[in-house]
Amino acid sequence: MRTLAWRLGSFMVLAAAIAAWGEIAALKLIPPLFLPSPARAFNALIAGLSRGVLLGKLEGTLTHMAIGWIAASLAGVALGALIGSSAQARAYVGPTLEFLRPLPASAIIPVAIAIFGLTPAMAIGVIAFGSIWPMLLSTVHGFAHVEPRLVEVARALQMSRLSVVWKIGLRSALPDILAGLRLGLTVALILAVVCEMIGGIDGLGQWELVAARAYRSPDIFAGVMLLGLTGLVANSALTLIEARALRWRAS
């Protein structure tokens, strides 16, 4: 009942926001050229999907996001496990990580353009760089805070370092890793759109930019709704995976 109440509450908030949007559009407090009604935006979304144009743009964005996020996930978890499981590695690498972590991913876009040009490889590189930090740092934190008694038991059993990392460290750090994966996926979606806008790469970001330059506000809002739905579905999927992977915590 509590879960149902929360879901009903969230739907009511969404309905109230759409109603307010429609009222503002109907009163023309903002010119219709810039703020279409919800019906016009929804019709533009349906038209774009039915023609297949938006589906093609969505496929491009999902491809860039997925490749960059998967590459960042694999590298972030692997490096995080190596760094987090060694106090010496954390002492040596920590300052470098703290130097690179605050660097905005958008700041390296000119560098990526100089290396890869205005290509999908540029977008994937920027996405991987930007989304690796939540996963890397959360993995380091998870492995660094393994229960000391478990490590002592592993030493008493003369387990190899690889076995300790795989059987004890990974299981203990899994909640932090999954949290980092969710944050990294959000960053990957944002950077995919930004790179497509700046580089003119095929995707929803390019769709948004072209629609804005042509003053097609219904198409702009249709792209925004599709991006929001994409983020919602991706986050829900990772939430389900997290719930299944962490079932042992409830036992």
Which pLDDT value is given to residue 65? 92
pLDDT in tens, 188-198: 999 999 999 98
CA angle 203, 58, 72 (to 5 degrees): 75
Token digits of residue 81: 């496990």
pLDDT at residue 161 greater than cutoff 70: no
pLDDT at residue 97 greater than cutoff 80: no
Which pLDDT value is given to residue 235? 86
39-45+63-246: CATH topology is MetI-like fold (1.10.3720)
Which pLDDT value is given to residue 63? 93
Q: What is the C-alpha to C-alpha distance for residues 71 and 173, in angstroms, rounded to an integer? A: 19
pLDDT at residue 3 greater than cutoff 80: no
Q: Where are the domains of the chain?
A: 39-45+63-246
What percent of the chain shows pLDDT beyond 70? 89
Which pLDDT value is given to residue 53? 86
pLDDT at residue 205 greater than cutoff 70: yes
pLDDT at residue 135 greater than cutoff 70: yes
pLDDT in tens, 56-90: 899 999 999 999 999 999 998 888 888 877 777 77
Confidence (pTM): 0.83
CB 89 within 8 A of CB 144: no
Which pLDDT value is given to residue 248? 64
Long-range contacts of 246-250 (CB under 8 A, 24+ apart): 246/174, 246/175, 246/178, 249/175
Which pLDDT value is given to residue 118? 84
Alpha-helix residue ranges (DSSP H) falling in 101-246: 109-116, 120-144, 148-156, 161-163, 170-199, 204-213, 217-245
Token digits of residue 176: 């932090």
Which pLDDT value is given to residue 70? 94
Contacts of 232 (CB under 8 A, 6+ apart): none
Average pLDDT of span 41-66: 90
In this predicted model, which residue has the larger pLDDT, 142 or 222? 222
